[in-house]
Amino acid sequence: MADLRQFKLPDVGEGLTEGEILSWLVAVGDTVVVNQPLCEVETAKAAVELPSPFAGTVTALHFEPGTTVDVGAPIITIDVGGDGATAGGATAPATAPEPTAPTGSGLIGETNANGRTAVLVGYGPRSTEARRRPRRTGEAAAARATAPQVLPEADYGSGSDRPPLLATAPDATVKPVRHGGLETGRAAEAHLAGADAAPAPVVPAAPGRGALRPLAKPPVRKYAKDLGIDLASVTGTGEGGVITRADVDAARSAVAPAPAPSVVRTAAAGDTRIPVKGVRKHTAAAMVASAFTAPHVTEFLTVDVTRTMKLRERLAARPELAGVKVSPLLFVAKAVLLAAQRHPMVNSSWDEAAQEIVVHGAVNLGIAAATPRGLVVPNVKDAGRLSLVELAGALADLTATARAGRTPPADMSGGTLTITNVGVFGVDTGTPILNPGESAILAFGAVRDTPWVHKGKVVPRKVTTLALSFDHRVIDGELGSRFLADVGALLHDPGTALVF
């Protein structure tokens, strides 16, 4: 009577969660003994051979070579019953042949004549050869192929409990799969025995054990597979030439993504290709890094800024501001600086390496500027110490230098808080992306004449919309809302700056 046991993938390292089956060293129908290597598995630490904990006949291989398997998942089924190899009436030897190894039996934990000890992960000596069981007759194979058999859970290895499996369903059709040039599966047995069976497609054999494989840990292999990167084309920079995740990312960035299968783009008259380099390349990389590392939240506030616009007209006419550009952006910048004094956490950075929040003592105020070479964000160092007139001059110099393409690297680094003025393009608002290393960015929309309820009446007022994006790891909803409300209050009534 058949006694089926499942061998589950063990944890062959220290806390590993998965391994990749490189190759099978046995096939369905082979007779195996205890400690005989069954397969070669690559983990995050090494490639090892897994020895069999059972003696018997292989009835099923559950995964193809190249498959990454979770620890605890059944990978092979072995019939350990005394007459399991003779199911259906076929004749088989009563006992398996004795191994002919010259040194010891090779059992787990036993030391051979060479002084080596066989261990679980397959470093012990291989003392036996795989043996094929006798071929079944057509009637025996047909009877076995149609009889449902329940596979009990193995008592070896770790993993979550699973319900019993049917070896074959009465109405199921099992297609033969080639393994090392031999058909496997119950349909293959019937085919070998001469039984009538419909032809089935054959899966090509996996590469042999001798094939050269790129050196990479299973998590890196899975990452490369998900990205569609062929590891054979990647140069490893890790110790001993091992391919790392960074190597895969570098290969991905060096190769243009293939178009979707359903979309075919061909060159057309008038098409222009623009190389992504310099400022554009840096900006693209920075925005991708920011978008997929900092959890963004964006809040919006529509504000009546009529009083601020009137103040702007009055200040522009003052002698001390002659020749200085008094723009709406100047008042937004001043409001942001004042609000940051009340809410210092907004002017912070997330230190991933140290797992700390760095609250900056000075506000290096970044101003996003569109230039022919792309978007740049120079910043005014310690902008909070400047008076309104000094701030106006600094902003004018900053934007003029940026548009001329002469911004020095020092002005492009060290920013802590940024404003982007989308209103200059007639845009009402947007959802800005944080500059890497910063925790907040404010979008300032266009100032428009808008019907507004003022003193109980609907009248035209100067109205704008502010959008604040922030890193939710540093700034929670309450802090972000209070900061944005303070900026709005200062722009609605500039006189409130006297009480800040």
**Euclidean distance between CA atoms 304 and 193, whole angstroms:** 88
Q: Fold identical between 4-192 and 278-499?
A: no
Structure token pair of residue 350: 């997330």
From the list 62, 282, 296, 472, the catalytic residue is 472
Return the sign of the alpha-carbon dihedral for residues 228, 232, 237, 241. Answer: positive
Residue 78 burial (CB count, 10 A): 26
Q: Tell me the pLDDT tens digit for each residue of 2-22.
A: 899 999 998 876 566 778 898
Catalytic site residue 472?
yes
Q: What is the mean pLDDT of each run of 10 residues along the chain (500 residues)?
A: 90 72 93 93 72 94 90 93 45 40 44 46 43 49 46 39 37 40 42 43 43 77 85 87 88 64 62 72 77 89 98 92 91 97 96 92 94 84 95 92 84 93 95 93 97 96 98 94 97 92
Question: How high is the pLDDT of residue 406?
Answer: 82
Question: How high is the pLDDT of residue 409?
Answer: 79
**Euclidean distance between CA atoms 147 and 130, whole angstroms:** 27
Per-residue CA distances from 1 to 81, 83, 93, 145, 328 (Å): 6, 5, 15, 16, 89
Residue with tokens 């390496």: 353
Nearest to 301 by CA among 463, 470, 471: 463
Q: Pseudo-torsion of CA 116, 119, 124, 129, nearest 10°?
A: 140
**Euclidean distance between CA atoms 484 and 482, whole angstroms:** 6
**Euclidean distance between CA atoms 124 and 121, whole angstroms:** 8
Domain boundaries, the chain: 4-192, 218-252, 278-499
The values of phi and psi at residue 140, to 5°, are -65, -40
The whole-model pTM stands at 0.49
**Euclidean distance between CA atoms 277 and 374, whole angstroms:** 10
Residue 198 half-sphere exposure toward CB, CA atoms < 13 A:
5
Question: How high is the pLDDT of residue 397?
Answer: 92
Question: How high is the pLDDT of residue 261?
Answer: 52
Question: How high is the pLDDT of residue 186?
Answer: 43
Question: How high is the pLDDT of residue 157?
Answer: 38
Q: Which residues pair with 366 in a beta bridge?
A: 379, 418
DSSP per-residue letters across 366-389: EE-EEETTEEE--EETTGGGS-HH
Nearest to 185 by CA among 207, 170, 171, 200: 200
Which of the following CATH numbers is that of domain 278-499: 3.30.559.10, 1.20.1440.130, 3.90.79.10, 3.40.50.720? 3.30.559.10
CATH topology of domain 218-252: Dihydrolipoamide Transferase (4.10.320)
Residue type, 82: G
- Where helices occur in 210-326 by DSSP H, the ranges are 218-227, 245-254, 278-291, 306-316
Residue type, 53: P
CATH topology of domain 4-192: OB fold (Dihydrolipoamide Acetyltransferase, E2P) (2.40.50)
Structure token pair of residue 487: 């900026």
Residue 64 burial (CB count, 10 A): 12
Q: How many helices (H) and strands (E) does the chain have?
A: 10, 24
**Euclidean distance between CA atoms 318 and 338, whole angstroms:** 23
Question: How high is the pLDDT of residue 278?
Answer: 61
**Euclidean distance between CA atoms 359 and 339, whole angstroms:** 15
Question: How high is the pLDDT of residue 159?
Answer: 39
